[in-house]
């Protein structure tokens, strides 16, 4: 994986605060690779970014918090699914800088049982001290943002300085910049004397992780295929989003977009039965990772990504890099389905 360029200089000029423990390890999953018997599986341990149980959102929040502090904000607002990792991570990041958080939990998954509504990330949201609001829709990103804006307006009237982390597209993809940087970190870790990585497999939800990583790798001259695993919407819908995100990153960094349309590879083979719902391949992948590698995955994102990575590794004798983006707290909210 050759590196022919350096990252765009504008990246170092944008406000950023240190939150993540970096670099995260790059490791061989030797037991799991042996179990599959074909390709080699590696893992980038972005579940180990450190802050309040880690995950991919910590890299993203370094830029959102940087921007919030540059705006002298004292209160963070964010919206997400009830078991959102982003929400939990944002509250944690705010706490580190003395900011309060107002979070909005959306009814995106058709579950109202006690485990889903109160354990896992929701328990941590409360422990971290956020004020929790609710939004009855789960598929109305613009509506969720509007309600967040109206809560922010109320806070402004009370003399606070709110900062909204938006959900819907159309806002600067600051979070993706964390993954442009991660591309450089990854290329620095790949030993030139070791077998090359033939494919990167990563979750694709809001698209910040997927688009940022792809942008960073291509900018640095690395042409490895990056497969985005759809967890929220179908591949054809997600494609538009990733392309738009890479264009927005280019504008933010004041450079041309190095990502060509055919660089955007997506699969929705593990999306069914929908966001936040398990299928058999995901349940099996979570079990295999735990039992062979003591690697804890989550049911909403990384379990689906690992199911795809395992299928790829079984089809090839090459090396597949699975990006572990965290999400472990949600395991506790899904213990009944996982025990089935």
Ligand X SMILES: Cc1ncc(COP(=O)(O)O)c(C=O)c1O
Give me the active site residues, please: 84
Query: Minimum CB separation from ligand X for residue 331, in Å?
Result: 11
Query: Minimum CB separation from ligand X for residue 202, in Å?
Result: 8
Query: Minimum CB separation from ligand X for residue 174, in Å?
Result: 12
CA distance 317 to 330: 33
Residue closer to ligand X, measured from CB, 99 or 330? 330
Residue closer to ligand X, measured from CB, 86 or 163? 86
104: CB partners within 8 A, 6+ apart = 77, 78, 79, 80, 132, 133, 134, 135, 144, 147, 148, 151
Q: Residue 172: which of 69, 282, 60 has the closest Cα?
A: 60
Q: What sign results for the dihedral spanned by CA atoms 145, 147, 149, 155?
A: negative
Task: Give me the residue whose beta carbon is nearest to ligand X.
Answer: 327
Residue closer to ligand X, measured from CB, 21 or 34? 21
Angle (nearest 5°) at CA 224 between 218 and 227 = 100
Residue closer to ligand X, measured from CB, 33 or 89? 89
Residue closer to ligand X, measured from CB, 155 or 286? 286
Residue closer to ligand X, measured from CB, 46 or 74? 46
Half-sphere exposure of 99 (CA within 13 A, CB side): 28
Query: Minimum CB separation from ligand X for residue 111, in Å?
Result: 17
CA distance 92 to 99: 9
Q: Is 229 exposed, middle or buried (0-12, 13-18, 19+ CB in 10 A)?
A: buried
Give the interface with ligand X as residue ranges (CB under 6 A).
Answer: 55-56, 85-86, 203-210, 298, 301-302, 325-327
DSSP helix/strand/coil, 198: coil
Determine how β-strand 199-204 pairs with β-strand 319-324. parallel
DSSP helix/strand/coil, 203: strand
Are residues 264 and 243 in contact, defined by beta-carbon separation less than 8 angstroms?
Answer: yes
CA distance 167 to 145: 6
Residue closer to ligand X, measured from CB, 128 or 155? 128
Print burial letters for 98-119: b (CB count within 10 Å at least 16), e (below 16): ebbbbbbbbbbbebeeebbeeb
Are residues 148 and 61 in contact, defined by beta-carbon separation less than 8 angstroms?
Answer: no
Strand boundaries in 22-90, DSSP class E = 26-28, 40-45, 75-81
Angle (nearest 5°) at CA 106 between 104 and 112 = 120
């Amino acid at each position: 994986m050759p590196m022919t360029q350096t990252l765009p200089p504008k990246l170092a000029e944008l406000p950023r605060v240190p939150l993540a423990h970096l670099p995260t390890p790059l490791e061989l999953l030797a037991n799991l690779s042996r179990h599959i018997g074909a390709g080699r599986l590696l893992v980038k341990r972005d579940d180990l970014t450190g802050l309040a149980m880690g995950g991919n959102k910590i890299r993203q929040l370094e830029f959102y918090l940087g921007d919030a502090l540059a705006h002298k904000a004292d209160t963070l607002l964010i919206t997400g699914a009830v078991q959102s990792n982003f929400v939990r991570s944002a509250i944690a990041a705010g706490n580190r800088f003395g900011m309060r958080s107002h979070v909005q939990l959306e009814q995106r998954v058709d579950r109202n049982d006690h485990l889903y509504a109160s354990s896992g990330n929701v328990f941590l949201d409360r422990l971290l001290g956020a004020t929790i609001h609710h939004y009855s829709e789960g598929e109305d990103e613009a509506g969720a943002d509007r309600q967040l804006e109206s809560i922010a307006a109320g806070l402004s009237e009370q003399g606070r300085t709110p900062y909204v982390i938006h959900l819907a597209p159309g806002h600067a993809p600051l979070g993706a910049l964390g993954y442009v940087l991660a591309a450089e970190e990854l290329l620095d870790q790949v030993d030139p004397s070791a077998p090359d990585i033939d494919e990167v497999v990563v979750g694709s939800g809001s698209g910040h992780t997927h688009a940022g990583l792809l942008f960073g790798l291509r900018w640095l001259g690395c042409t490895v295929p990056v497969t985005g695993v759809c967890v929220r919407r179908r591949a054809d819908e997600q494609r538009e989003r990733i392309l738009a995100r890479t264009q927005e990153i280019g504008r933010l960094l004041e450079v041309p977009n190095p990502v060509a349309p055919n660089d955007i590879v997506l699969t929705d083979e593990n999306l069914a039965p929908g966001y936040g719902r398990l299928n058999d391949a995901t349940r099996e992948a979570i079990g295999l990772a735990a039992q062979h590698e003591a690697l804890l995955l989550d049911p909403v994102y990384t379990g689906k990504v690992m199911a795809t990575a395992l299928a790829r590794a079984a089809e090839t004798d090459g090396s597949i890099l699975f990006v572990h983006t965290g999400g472990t707290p949600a395991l506790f909210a899904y213990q009944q389905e996982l025990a089935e």
